[in-house]
Structure 1
Amino acid sequence: MKKTEHGSLAQEIRGCRLCADRFAATATAHRPRPVAWFKPGARLLIAGQAPGLRVHESGKPFTDASGDRLREWLGLSDDAFYDQNRVAIVPMAFCFPGYSAKKADLPPPKICGQTWHDRVMKALPEIDLRILVGGHAHKYHLGVKGGVTEVVQNWRAYAPNVFPLPHPSWRNTGWLKRNPWFEKELLPVLRRRVKEVMI
């Protein structure tokens, strides 16, 4: 795919307003702000869930505590993580979905993935390593129906080219404590693989 084609696709995504009415009806009553962060030559894909409020405000993916933890998991500096020539960051929804009346995160709207994801994946033909962050990404990229713990525990079945991860949110700190194998067994293998792909 030519760079001009990539540019028009990313620009098209950034101009998407399909969910304007949906977002206006949330507790945050915000406007769409799609965050498209990919280039055709990228070799590492980070498939996430959806931008949070801070990312919505910054226009740059993972500019929050979750991003700090994810970069630590991957062994990547900020500069390497945000190098679009090597890393594509493609969430299941490109916009912040908003909060419910109880301040809970709303799920990524399915219409976003249905509209954009097949096109974006075709625009990334050189991906060697897929890092799948959270259950929504697991379901799309792996076609699995199991829970996050079950899928991540089975990570060896997908390695070395795919690594399913839990979401790096602070809300999952308890999960990390209950599953020490994640940091002891999975992360060292993941970091080695990331280093190979980023060379």
Structure 2
Amino acid sequence: MKNLLSEIKKCTICVPHLDLGANPVVSGHKNSKIAIIGQAPGTKVHKSGIPWDDASGKQLRKWLNVSYEDFYDVKKFAIVPMGFCYPGKGKSGDKPPRKECAPEWHQQLFDKMPNLEMIILIGIYAQNYYLKDKVKRTLTETVDNYPEYLPKYFVTPHPSPRNRFWLTKNPWFEKNVIPELQKKVALVLK
């Protein structure tokens, strides 16, 4: 696993398309129990190299009901975004994650994590890639139907502060889905 992570950290596959150059952000361990698959690092995470080291990460840890220390314990959580590097600024927010990372690296990483019990798919990029034709018409429908993807996958929207409108419009998510997510995470980490 260490060799693979080292190889990924040196990856330059999509450098010509990256505004700030390559700085792959990924973590995992052969004993990781839960994998978190999000979009791609933002500028703050690109600079720090620490996954989810921003407001979205703070919200995600709250959703998962885990401490900062537990979240960054690689034996508990592997963090494997769809795109490992900051993709650049788009018209409204960041560009989508680069498409090269997932097919190049994800399976190799998961092959080295035999103890994974749960994969959390955050946002449409991860959900479309992993759920394929089982994804619903909208992210809202996919998240509302989260039990269909259990026990392997748990689906959520992105915890970005930009999603405040979605969360306000869909109070059932924090009322019904978050408690289930917390319960499942607690069971896996026991």
TM-score (norm 2): 0.94
Residue in structure 1 matched with residue 45 of structure 2 by the alignment:
55
The residue type equivalent to 1:78 in the other structure is Y
Residue 43 (structure 1) aligned with residue 33 (structure 2): yes
Kept in 2: contact 1:160–1:193 (CA 8 A): no
Residues of 1 paired with 2:152 and 2:183: CA distance? 12
Kept in 2: contact 1:45–1:130 (CA 8 A): yes
Cα distance, 1:103–1:135 mapped onto 2, change above 3 Å: closer
Kept in 2: contact 1:53–1:96 (CA 8 A): yes
The within-5 A match list for 1:1-199 is 6-23=1-18, 29-100=19-90, 102=91, 104-143=93-132, 144-146=134-136, 147-199=138-190
Q: Structure 2 unaligned runs (5+)?
A: none
Residue 103 of structure 1, CA deviation: 6.0
Give the root-mean-square deviation of aligned CA atoms: 1.3
Residues of 2 paired with 1:35 and 1:118: CA distance? 16
What SS is found at the alignment partner of 2:58? helix
Residues of 1 paired with 2:149 and 2:108: CA distance? 23
Residues of 2 paired with 1:103 and 1:140: CA distance? 22
The residue type equivalent to 2:178 in the other structure is L
Cα distance, 1:66–1:99 mapped onto 2, change above 3 Å: same
What SS is found at the alignment partner of 2:66? coil
What SS is found at the alignment partner of 1:107? coil
Residue 162 of structure 1, CA deviation: 2.0
Q: Structure 1 unaligned runs (5+)?
A: 1-5, 24-28
What SS is found at the alignment partner of 2:89? coil
Identity of aligned residues (%): 42
How many residues are treated as equivalent by the alignment?
188
The residue type equivalent to 2:115 in the other structure is E
